[in-house]
């Protein structure tokens, strides 16, 4: 038996209108389930305010996660962005509280650097002060706040400046750095016995330490050792020959690179400079001189 559904009134002969009516009814019912704010007029002030608050909250959440991971520099940028959007309300106030917490931590680091300085632990004091200056810089810059805070970065700079002007601090710091570089000199002192050309590297190491750290015992001692090497005719002859060999080898390497890249004229110019420096020498003779 065939079941026939009665046709809706007014639908006879016009199925398109009936279908449109069904679709409109369906969309009308589904609209009731749309999420809040969906379809808001973007020019509506209330909708704009909601969007701003949501964006500020996003910055706050990101900043708190970064702070929990110890990424203070990135976190403070997010917090400042939240405040810049909504001021000191809602997520902006929470971001401000987070910045104050960061500031308090920065002040503790400043006090720690100052205590180390007073204890004449200048190396540790400088390390703490330099990190503090960098990490806590521009903490509240660009924000309109109801109160002022001591500038953490500026206070750290004062400690660094005091260390730079303190002769005792400079001697301690230079000695620390010179001692680290001296390890290479000690190693080279052992190598020169079997490979005399290493006197060249040893001499340069002494000179570098003496020049960079002149105000500490190790720096002064290295200056004396460099003078001793220079005054030893046999050793100084070895140093001069090795310096010449490396100079020629470096120049020939540059010439080869230029030729490999098709810069023939530049290569010829460099070769002319080298031959002027070592008159009467052919390229083949210079290559022989460059061999180890």
pLDDT digits (tens, 9 = 90+) for 135-154: 999 999 989 888 899 999 99
Give yes or no: residues 92 and 188 share one domain. no
What is the arithmetic mean of pLDDT over 196-207?
A: 96
Residue 157 CB neighbour total at 10 angstroms: 16
Structural domain includes residue 270: yes
Confidence of residue 245 (pLDDT cuts 50, 70, 90): very high
Structural domain includes residue 134: yes
Confidence of residue 21 (pLDDT cuts 50, 70, 90): very low
Residue 80 burial by Cβ neighbours in a 10 Å radius (0-12, 13-18, 19+) = buried
Structural domain includes residue 31: no
Contact 66, 78 (CB under 8 A): yes
Q: Which two tokens stand for residue 216?
A: 């500490």
Q: What is the pLDDT of residues 159-190, one digit of tens each?
A: 999 999 999 999 999 999 999 999 999 999 99
Structural domain includes residue 92: yes
Give yes or no: residues 160 and 208 share one domain. no
Alpha-carbon span 233 to 239, nearest angstrom: 10
What is the arithmetic mean of pLDDT over 216-231?
A: 97
Give yes or no: residues 134 and 191 share one domain. no
Contact 92, 53 (CB under 8 A): no
Percent of the chain with pLDDT over 70: 86
Mean pLDDT over all residues of the chain?
88
Q: What is the pLDDT of residues 7-17, one digit of tens each?
A: 444 444 454 54
Percent of the chain with pLDDT over 90: 79
**pLDDT of residue 31 exceeding 70:** no
Give yes or no: residues 110 and 72 share one domain. yes
Q: What is the pLDDT of residue 42?
A: 64
Q: What is the pLDDT of residue 41?
A: 64
**pLDDT of residue 78 exceeding 80:** yes
Structural domain includes residue 29: no
Alpha-carbon span 272 to 244, nearest angstrom: 17
Give yes or no: residues 112 and 191 share one domain. no
What is the arithmetic mean of pLDDT over 64-78?
A: 96
Confidence of residue 43 (pLDDT cuts 50, 70, 90): confident
Give yes or no: residues 196 and 159 share one domain. no
Name residues whose C-beta falls within 8 Å of residue 98's C-beta, 6 or more positions apart in sequence. Answer: 60, 63, 64, 67, 75, 79
Give yes or no: residues 219 and 278 share one domain. yes
Q: What is the pLDDT of residue 270?
A: 95
Structural domain includes residue 28: no
Instruction: Please count the CA atoms within 13 angstroms of the CA of 9 that sit on its side-chain side.
Output: 0
Q: Could you give the number of structural domains in the chain?
A: 2
CATH assignment at residue 134: 1.25.40
Give yes or no: residues 253 and 208 share one domain. yes
Give yes or no: residues 128 and 198 share one domain. no
Q: What is the pLDDT of residue 292?
A: 80
Domain residue limits at 239: 182-289
Give yes or no: residues 198 and 123 share one domain. no
Give yes or no: residues 56 and 133 share one domain. yes
Structural domain includes residue 5: no
Confidence of residue 258 (pLDDT cuts 50, 70, 90): very high
Name residues whose C-beta falls within 8 Å of residue 255's C-beta, 6 or more positions apart in sequence. Answer: 267, 270, 271, 274
Structural domain includes residue 253: yes
What is the arithmetic mean of pLDDT over 271-275?
A: 93
Min mean pLDDT across 1-10, 114-123, 197-206, 239-248 is at 1-10
Give yes or no: residues 67 and 117 share one domain. yes
Min mean pLDDT across 84-88, 130-134, 157-161 is at 84-88
């Amino acid at each position: 038996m065939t079941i026939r559904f009665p046709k809706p009134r007014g639908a006879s002969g016009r199925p398109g209108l009936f279908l449109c009516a069904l679709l409109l009814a369906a969309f009308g019912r589904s609209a009731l389930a749309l999420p809040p704010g969906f379809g808001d007029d973007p020019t509506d002030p209330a909708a704009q305010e909601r969007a701003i608050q949501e964006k500020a909250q996003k910055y706050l959440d990101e900043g708190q996660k970064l702070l929990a991971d110890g990424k203070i520099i990135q976190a403070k940028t997010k917090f400042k962005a939240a405040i810049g959007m909504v001021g000191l309300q809602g997520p902006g106030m929470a971001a401000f509280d987070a910045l104050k917490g960061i500031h308090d931590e920065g002040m503790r680091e400043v006090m720690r650097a100052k205590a180390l300085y007073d204890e004449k632990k200048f190396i540790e004091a400088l390390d703490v002060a330099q990190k503090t200056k960098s990490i806590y810089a521009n903490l509240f810059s660009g924000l309109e706040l109801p109160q002022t805070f001591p500038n953490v970065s500026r206070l750290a700079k004062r400690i660094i400046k005091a260390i730079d002007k303190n002769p005792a601090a400079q001697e301690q710091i230079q000695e620390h750095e010179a001692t680290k570089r001296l390890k290479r000199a000690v190693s080279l002192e052992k190598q020169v016995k079997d490979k005399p050309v290493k006197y060249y590297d040893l001499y340069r190491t002494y000179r570098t330490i003496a020049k960079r750290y002149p105000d500490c015992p190790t720096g002064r001692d290295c200056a004396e050792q460099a003078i001793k090497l220079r005054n030893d005719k046999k050793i100084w002859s070895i140093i001069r020959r090795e310096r010449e060999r490396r100079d020629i080898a470096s120049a020939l390497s540059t010439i080869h690179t230029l030729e490999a890249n098709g810069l023939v004229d530049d290569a010829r110019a460099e070769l002319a400079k080298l031959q002027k420096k070592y008159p009467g020498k052919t390229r083949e003779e210079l290559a022989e001189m460059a061999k180890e």
